[in-house]
Every structure is written in C-alpha cells, then in structure tokens.
Amino acid sequence: MTDKTIVKAAKNVVENGEGVARNIWLAGLGFYSRTLEEAQQVNEKATMAFDELVERGKEVETQTKEYIGKKVNKVADEAEAGTNGLLYRLSGIDREKLDHMDDKIDRLTQAVEKLAEVE
C-alpha cells in the first residue's frame, strides 16, 4: 500500500467512526426521549388510578358509615327495649307511663314553685 492509500483509508475510518459515534449519540438521545415519554405516561396512569381508588374509597367509607350507623341504632333500640322490658317486669310500670309521670311531676314542681313565689 502506498502512503496515499493508507492516509485515505485512515480518513475513511475516522469519518466512518465519527458517523458511528454520532449515530450512537443520537440513539442515546432517542432512547432517553422515549423513556421520558413512557415514564410520563406511566405517571399519568398511576395518578388516574390513584384518584379512582380515592373515589372508590370515599364511596366505601360512606356505605360503611351508613351500615354501622344502622347497626348502632338497631343495637340501641334493642337495648332500650330490653331495659324497658326489665323495668316493666320489676316495677309493673312501662316506659311510657314512667315518662308521663315524669312530665306530671315536672308540671307539679313548676306549680308549687309558682305558689311559693306568691306567698
């Protein structure tokens, strides 16, 4: 080989090497860009999924509160009925009569207080 041929071959290798290096650089940038876009899409999907789960959670919370509220009221009513039944069995007076007597006592107390003020 002649010197010219060797120099020409070396230039060719350098030029091809620069082209390959540039293509590798551009491929890296393309990969970075694609990865960034995919990460943004995944982030958007994750945010949407999270928001959907929050909404579902709110619905479940509301339903659970309603269910528990109904159960608490039912238990309270049953406890009151049991207490009223026990009161009636022990005293022979049911809750309505007892409440009625309380009202009468309150009215009598007010009447006595008014009479005491007059004197």
Is residue 84 within 8 Å of residue 95, measured between CB atoms? Answer: yes
Structural contact between residues 88 and 94, judged by C-beta atoms closer than 8 angstroms: yes
The total domain count for the chain is: 1
Place of tokens 């006595």: 112
Domain membership of residue 81 (yes or no) is yes
**pTM strictly above 0.85:** no
Domain holding 12, by residue range, is 3-92
- 85-112 pLDDT, tens digit each: 887 888 888 878 888 889 999 999 999 9
| Helix 95-118 × helix 3-91 angle, to 10° | 70
Domain presence at residue 39: yes
pLDDT, tens digit, for every residue of 34-62? 999 999 999 999 999 999 999 999 999 99
117 located within any domain = no
| Cα distance between residue 58 and residue 86, in whole Å | 42
Q: Dihedral (C-alpha) 87, 89, 94, 95: value to the nearest 10 degrees? A: 20
Asked if the structure places residue 113 within a domain, the reply is: no
Q: Which two tokens stand for residue 90?
A: 């022990």
